[in-house]
Amino acid sequence: MEKFHYSRADKVQRLLGLGAIASLAATVWLGLVTTPPDEFMGNLVRLIYIHPPLAWDAFIAYGMNFLASLAYLWPRTRDLRWDQLAGATAEVGVLFTGLLLVTGSLWGRPAWGTWWTWDPLLTTTALLFVLYLGYLALRRVPDDRELRARRSAIAALVAFVDVPVVYFAVLWWKSLHQAPTVLNPTTNKTYIHGSMAWTLLLGFIAFTLTYAWMVMIRYRIGAGEERTHEDEVNASLLARQGEGR
């Protein structure tokens, strides 16, 4: 039964990987070759096909981290597999947040004349990056597995407070960063159309598949590490019992 389970997981992981690679390749092709440059921003607009999807993936990752941590803390659903999922999705989220900050800087240099400014959105995003780096560091502190999981889950709930702040920062504070391009909740208007809109939509799909693929790989690696650790502990205990006898 376990062998069948892992065989099915391998197939899902392979399909996710193929879908992610194919959609990413299509996004790159459409973004660089097919879609036209912007009237005002020129070719710089091509960053829009990866920058918002990176933000989308980061929000998904931290949302999953929040839900998994909540599920672990809830007595009826407490299971260390939720803790493993929380750790896996947080690692992927930190990666995408780092790339989000880098692509934002690449946009900011020609658009704003600087690589970095203490804009409310940029500042809260950088804080989000640091918070989840701290969360991952906390997970590395040696301790009892269940105690570490509970402590990490509480830290995840605290760190998630910054996620809605990042999302609404551009609306709460009028700053350098432009308002949402796809759908502005204050005007309910979409500011991108035609081939550019379809390419951006494909970018969202591609990065979502990439997120799911990476989380699945990291979760399975983490589960394997835990099983190896348990086997080593059990072998050590058996060896000590044999020495005592």
Q: Beta-carbon neighbour count of residue 122 at 10 Å?
A: 20
Domain spans of the chain, in order of start:
14-35+46-244
Q: Encoding tokens for residue 2?
A: 């376990």
Instruction: Return phi, psi of residue 35, to 5°.
Output: -75, 150
Distance, in Å, from the CA atom of 204 to the CA atom of 179, rounded to the nearest integer, reads: 18
Q: How far is CA 92 from the centre of its chain?
A: 4
In Å, what is the CA distance from 228 to each residue of 34, 80, 156? 49, 15, 26
What percent of the chain is predicted at pLDDT more than 70?
A: 82
Q: Which long-range contacts (CB under 8 A, 24 or more apart) does 143-148 make?
A: 145/80, 145/226, 146/80
Tens digit of pLDDT for each residue in 91-139? Answer: 999 999 999 999 999 888 887 888 888 888 899 999 999 999 999 999 9
Instruction: Please give the model's pTM, rounded to 2 decimal places.
Output: 0.85
